[in-house]
Structure formats: structure tokens, C-alpha cells
């Protein structure tokens, strides 16, 4: 019995070390992805705001002395609403395709849980 406990302790310590490495790997992968998204999103947002602002100023300046000035402003509002709706839809589809946080660790825990259940069932059969 003591030998089994020693073997179990050794296995548990090895698994704890492996889980620590796996958790760190998951966290590092998530950190890298998040950093890339934040940088790309910041650049995209800044460039988009500047481009949209300059475009709006240009359109309003071209139509300022005409009767189409209010129509141009209303059209710009509709364009921005459409872009916002499309962006919201795209963001929600991106979230659906991402792997869950710590997915590698969860898979490994599930494998180990099944293995331990099999080992315990085998031990019970041998004890009977």
C-alpha cells in the first residue's frame, strides 16, 4: 500500500509540474494573441477615425453652399450606422470562433480524469 501511495505521489508531482507548464503555455498564447489584437485594433481605430473625419469634412465642404448639404450629412450618418452594425456583427462572429481560455489545460485534465477513473475501476476489480 505504501508503494502505491509513493507511486501516486510521484505521479501527482509530475502532473502538477506538467499542468503548470501547460497553464503557462496557454496564458502565453493568449497574451500574444491579445497583444496583437490590441495593437492592430488601435492602429485601425486611429486610422479609421482620421480617414472618416477627413472624408466627412470633404463631403460637407463640397456640399456646403448647395441644397444637398443636409442630405449629405444624413447620408454620412447612415453610412456610419451601417459600418457600426457591420463591425458589431463581425466582432460577434470572431468571438464565436475563438478557442476558450485554457483549452489545452482543460483537454489534458479531461484525459487525466478518464485515465484515473479507469485506473480506479481496475483497482476495484482487482480488490474484489
The pLDDT score that the predictor gives to residue 1 is 58
The pLDDT score that the predictor gives to residue 101 is 67
pLDDT tens digit at each of 128 positions of the chain: 567 666 777 777 777 777 788 778 878 888 888 888 899 989 999 998 999 999 999 999 999 999 999 999 999 999 999 998 998 888 888 777 676 666 777 787 788 778 878 877 887 787 77
The pLDDT score that the predictor gives to residue 75 is 94
- Output the CA angle 118-122-123, nearest 5 degrees: 120
Each domain of the chain, given as residue ranges in start order, spans 2-127
The pLDDT score that the predictor gives to residue 5 is 64
d(CA 126, CA 120): 10
Amino acid at each position: 500500500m505504501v508503494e502505491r501511495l509513493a507511486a501516486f505521489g510521484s505521479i501527482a508531482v509530475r502532473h502538477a509540474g506538467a499542468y503548470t507548464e501547460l497553464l503557462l503555455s496557454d496564458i502565453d498564447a493568449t497574451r500574444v494573441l491579445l497583444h496583437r489584437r490590441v495593437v492592430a485594433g488601435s492602429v485601425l481605430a486611429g486610422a479609421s477615425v482620421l480617414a472618416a473625419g477627413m472624408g466627412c469634412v470633404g463631403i460637407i465642404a463640397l456640399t456646403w453652399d448647395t441644397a444637398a448639404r443636409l442630405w449629405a450629412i444624413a447620408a454620412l450618418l447612415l453610412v456610419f450606422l451601417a459600418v457600426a452594425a457591420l463591425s458589431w456583427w463581425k466582432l460577434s462572429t470572431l468571438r464565436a470562433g475563438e478557442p476558450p481560455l485554457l483549452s489545452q489545460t482543460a483537454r489534458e485534465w479531461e484525459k487525466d480524469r478518464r485515465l484515473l477513473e479507469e485506473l480506479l475501476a481496475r483497482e476495484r476489480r482487482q480488490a474484489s
